[in-house]
């Protein structure tokens, strides 16, 4: 195992005279506040993050490069035993740092191969390594934990986190906006993307699906099987997914517009007949969306249908999750569009979620318009006729303050209306140039709303700040934009 002590310092940055022991170990037992009493100025405690909607999700002081998540799950007892290795680079000298973890019992934490002290404070796992970590150093944290994982209830009342299936054959792990902390100790914010490898060991006869590609399936003793999955493209934690149960698995390939061979793997719960007509249309959906948005951003695609009645589908990276009865074609179109907008081009702050949901909703309008249904312009006319008093217009897509409004009608529908209004303002050609450039420029990156406004202004050669302000920030029906 790699030692924290060695190098990795950023060129040009003064090498700090670490490793030095940190004397917070005793203080830790008294709780997180004790960490503010630190001996050295050059070493800081990492803190929890500062997302405007979820201030305790995400952390500071480091940048995660990779998660190796090793799970062992027994559906009958809903028991998880896990070891996660977090490989990160310190963005400042650290005496301690936080990971987000909700529930479960932590039995051991090691940093750089040495036992570390840790404490829990709500969903913060606060870790004090035996030796401070130098700025720029790559360090590995191994967390051993387990127990009964939590179902996390969102501000809007929906379930996420680790959700056992209705039939009792397994569970599904879903993470938007914050549920991933129920199973991965993580920097649980969309802005810290990292590679992800998940292995899941389950009783024989049960299967385990996750993001990316299936690397191996191996026997563990006589009674268990281990599934190893890997995501090579970076992923925001909320897009990580595990589905455990009994599935009918089908594979296909799709030739992308830029000539790559995309592997398709679908897993449909056998309790749902083991197939989904809408998911079978994925190649046609990919083709249409590549035509609008440019090359599909990942090497893997697919879908998973599981009998967890959460009431929503989720754009889990490369392999969206669909609840119990399987999706409509419109939902497949929506979750697939998120692979460009949300998954590849990702948020920095949850307040910009219209950049995910407005775009995915607009993709549904594009699809219906090219398949005999309402065109985007017709959707616009219909929705714009909604009275000014309607919940569609308030709160505005970017200025809501209650996290319960994250998945509300303004974010989805007024968000999509914003795109159609933009199209009418700058013209169809420039509009699609904006969408494609956005997807290409920020592929596998993180964005903020202001960057989208700037790009639209650049492509169209017009000032659009007032237009976007009226559409996204004023809690009234937009007029005279
Ligand atoms: N992003 C998902 C979609 O648009 C919806 C997630 C809803 N989650 C929730 N907690 N309400 O398909
Ligand atoms: Zn969506």
SS3 at position 216 = strand
Which ligand 1 atom sits nearest the alpha carbon of residue 156?
A: 11
> Which helix (H) or strand (E) covers residue 195, if one does?
strand 194-203
Dihedral in degrees, nearest 10, Cα atoms 395, 396, 400, 403: 80
Distance from the alpha carbon of residue 208 to the mean position of ligand 2, in angstroms = 24
* Binding pocket residue ranges, ligand 1, CB within 6 Å: 154, 156, 158, 160, 176, 312-315, 334-335, 357, 407
Cβ atoms of residues 143 and 86 within 8 Å: yes
Which ligand 1 atom sits nearest the alpha carbon of residue 342?
A: 1
Could you tell me how many helices (H) and strands (E) the chain has, helices first?
11, 23
> Which helix (H) or strand (E) covers residue 426, if one does?
helix 415-426
Distance from the alpha carbon of residue 393 to the mean position of ligand 2, in angstroms = 19
Cβ atoms of residues 290 and 339 within 8 Å: no
> Which helix (H) or strand (E) covers residue 473, if one does?
none
The mean pLDDT values, 10 residues at a time, for the chain of 481 residues are 32 32 38 42 76 91 98 98 98 97 98 98 97 97 98 96 96 98 98 98 98 98 98 97 97 98 97 89 98 98 96 98 96 98 97 98 98 98 98 97 97 98 98 98 98 98 98 96 91
From the list 103, 132, 101, 102, the residue with the least C-alpha distance to 116 is 132
Distance from the alpha carbon of residue 334 to the mean position of ligand 2, in angstroms = 6
Which ligand 1 atom sits nearest the alpha carbon of residue 406?
A: 11
What is the pTM (predicted TM-score) of this model?
0.91
Distance from the alpha carbon of residue 334 to the mean position of ligand 1, in angstroms = 11
Which ligand 1 atom sits nearest the alpha carbon of residue 331?
A: 12
Cα gap 213→283, rounded to integer Å? 17
Q: Which residues contact 180 (CB under 8 A, 6 or more apart)?
A: 161, 173, 186, 188, 237, 238, 240
Nearest CA to ligand 1 atom 8: 176
From the list 165, 141, 324, the residue with the least C-alpha distance to 242 is 165
CA distance from start to end of the chain: 59
Q: Which residues contact 303 (CB under 8 A, 6 or more apart)?
A: 266, 267, 268, 276, 279, 282, 319, 320, 321, 322, 327, 332, 335
Asked if residue 83 has a cis previous peptide bond (ω within 30° of 0), the answer is no
Distance from the alpha carbon of residue 147 to the mean position of ligand 2, in angstroms = 31
From the list 454, 346, 365, the residue with the least C-alpha distance to 413 is 365
SS3 at position 363 = helix
Nearest CA to ligand 1 atom 5: 314
């Amino acid at each position: 195992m790699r030692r924290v002590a060695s190098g990795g310092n950023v060129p040009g940055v003064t090498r700090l005279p670490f490793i030095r022991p940190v004397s917070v170990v005793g203080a830790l037992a008294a709780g997180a506040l004790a960490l503010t009493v630190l001996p050295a100025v050059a070493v800081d405690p990492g803190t929890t993050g500062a997302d405007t909607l979820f201030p305790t999700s995400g952390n500071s002081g480091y940048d995660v490069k990779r998660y190796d998540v090793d799970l062992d799950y027994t559906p009958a007892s809903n028991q998880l035993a896990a070891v996660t290795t977090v490989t990160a680079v310190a963005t400042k000298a650290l005496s301690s740092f936080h990971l987000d973890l909700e529930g479960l019992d932590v039995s051991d934490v090691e940093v750089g191969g040495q036992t570390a002290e840790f404490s829990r404070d709500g969903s913060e796992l606060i870790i004090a390594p035996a030796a401070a970590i130098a700025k720029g150093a790559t360090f590995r944290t191994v967390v051993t934990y387990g127990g009964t994982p939590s179902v996390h209830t969102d501000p809007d009342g929906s379930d996420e986190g680790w959700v056992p299936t209705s039939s009792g054959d397994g569970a599904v792990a879903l993470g938007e906006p914050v549920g991933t902390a129920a199973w991965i100790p993580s920097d649980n914010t969309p802005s810290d993307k990292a590679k992800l490898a998940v292995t899941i060991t389950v009783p024989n006869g049960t299967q385990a699906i996750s993001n990316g590609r299936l690397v191996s399936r191996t026997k563990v003793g006589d009674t268990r099987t281990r599934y190893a999955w890997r995501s090579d493209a970076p992923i925001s934690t909320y897009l990580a997914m595990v589905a455990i149960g009994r599935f009918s698995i089908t594979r296909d390939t799709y030739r992308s517009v830029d000539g790559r061979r995309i592997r398709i793997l679908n897993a449909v719960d056998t309790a749902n007949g083991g197939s989904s007509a809408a998911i079978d249309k994925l190649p046609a959906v990919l083709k249409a969306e590549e035509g609008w948005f440019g090359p599909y951003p990942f090497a893997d695609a697919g879908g998973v249908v599981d009998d967890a009645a959460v009431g929503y589908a989720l754009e889990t990276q490369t392999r969206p999750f669909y609840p119990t009865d399987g999706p409509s074609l419109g939902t497949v179109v929506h979750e697939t569009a998120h692979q460009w907008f949300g998954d590849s081009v990702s948020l920095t702050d949850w307040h910009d979620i219209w950049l995910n949901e407005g775009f995915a909703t607009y993709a549904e309008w594009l699809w219906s318009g090219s398949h005999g249904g309402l065109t985007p312009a017709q959707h616009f006319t219909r929705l714009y006729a909604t009275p000014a008093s309607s919940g569609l217009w308030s709160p505005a897509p970017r200025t809501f303050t209650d996290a319960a409004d994250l998945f509300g009608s303004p974010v989805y529908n007024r968000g999509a209306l914003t795109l159609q209004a933009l199209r009418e303002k700058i013209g169809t050609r420039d509009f699609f140039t904006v969408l494609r450039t956005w997807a290409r420029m920020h592929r596998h990156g993180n964005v903020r709303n202001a960057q989208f406004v700037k790009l639209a202004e650049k492509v169209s050669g017009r000032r659009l700040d007032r237009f976007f302000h009226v559409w996204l920030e004023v809690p009234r029906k937009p007029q005279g934009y």
